[in-house]
Amino acid sequence: MKTKVLMAILAVVIAGLIAVPWIASYFYVFIFTEILILGLFAASFNLIFGYTGMLSFGHAAFFGIGSYATALVLIHLEWPFLACLLVSMGASALLALVIGFMSVRLNEVYFAMLTLAFGMMVFAIAYQWRSVTNGSDGLAGFTLGSFGLGLDLTLANPSVYYHVVLAIVAIASVVLYVICRSSFGMILKAIRQNPERVSFAGLNVRTYRLVAFVIAGTFAGLAGGLIAPFLRVASPELLHWSMSAEPILMAILGGTGFFLGPFIGSAAFVLLETWITTYTESWMLVLGIILAMMVIFFRKGLLGTAIDWWMEVKK
């Protein structure tokens, strides 16, 4: 019965997401496109934080590199959009492999600080390498051509691009879910709870952490590849350490112990930011207070608290 209810709710949510361009204005089409992209970004972060127990302050490096990779390929090679996304994933995976190889050797705060240092290094390179990245102005002026696979899609249309993002995020989410539910995902949970015991069992903890780090970086790069055409620019701000705080906040806000938690957190964060900015110029102060109260009173995140409430009601 519980499974049937959850499946019914999920079906309604999916149907509602598909119908957004038909029932909402273009403004909310843009808002929900951003929610989906940032939700995937936060979900990729949650693989290493919620499942593996590694707090990274440099996750935006992979997000930003994905956006730059897509922009560069569109500007110089004019490849189909799908090929650009594959390049963004490959570039982010390679960067994650390099950073992860040197970072997973450390634990807890030392790991967090090292990822922050690498993230700021990547930001500094993008900011100063003007001949490639156009410096602080970022890369703009690129246009989306074909999607690829022989599909005739008008990607410049916000509604079409929204459905493309929805389909890609859905596929990526299924892949991430399968990874989290696999034996590999179970080992990651064990590493989060007791890495010493996992090591005593004969498993190489560093290798598993590195693989998880690379997978997370790859999907963050995919999210970055989707954000560049959405914003029409790939800028250094996407690489900044402050951008790395967003997936952390979204994951905690939605609930790090649940796969869909980061998506719920992304929706709450973006919608709150959008609505508050329409009423006050001091939106950052108001948003900070609201988010702080939500984190304090919803210890398991919005999704975890809702599930606990539902279980209490069922009793």
Q: Which two tokens stand for residue 203?
A: 């498993």
pLDDT at 1 over 70: no
Please give the average per-residue pLDDT across 94-122, as a whole number: 92
pLDDT at 2 over 80: no
Q: Is-contact 81 87, C-beta < 8 A?
A: no
Residue 72 lies in a domain: yes
CA–CA distance, 167 with 151 (Å, rounded to integer) = 14
Residue with tokens 């939500």: 294
Residue 169 lies in a domain: yes
- Phi, psi torsion values for 262, nearest 5 degrees: -60, -35
Q: What is the CA radius of gyration of the chain?
A: 19
Please state the pTM of the whole predicted model.
Answer: 0.93
Residue 298 lies in a domain: no
Indicate the SS3 state at residue 35. helix
- The domain of 189 spans 25-240
Residue 279 lies in a domain: no
Q: Which of 92-96, 140-144, 180-184, 240-244 has the lowest mean pLDDT?
A: 140-144
CA–CA distance, 161 with 112 (Å, rounded to integer) = 35
CA–CA distance, 78 with 89 (Å, rounded to integer) = 17
Reported confidence tier of residue 315, pLDDT bands at 50, 70, 90: low
Greater confidence (70 vs 257) lies with 70
Q: Is-contact 268 303, C-beta < 8 A?
A: no
Residue 11 lies in a domain: no
Task: Give the angle subtended at the CA of 135 by the CAs of 132 and 140, to the nearest 5°.
Answer: 75
Please report, for residues 48, 154, 295, 312, the alpha-carbon distance to residue 215 in angstroms, rounded to integers and kept in the order given.
9, 30, 27, 36
Residue 35 lies in a domain: yes
CA–CA distance, 228 with 61 (Å, rounded to integer) = 14
pLDDT at 291 over 90: no
Residue with tokens 């190889």: 101
Residue 253 lies in a domain: no
Number of domains in the chain: 1
Residue 36 lies in a domain: yes
| pLDDT attached to residue 55 | 92
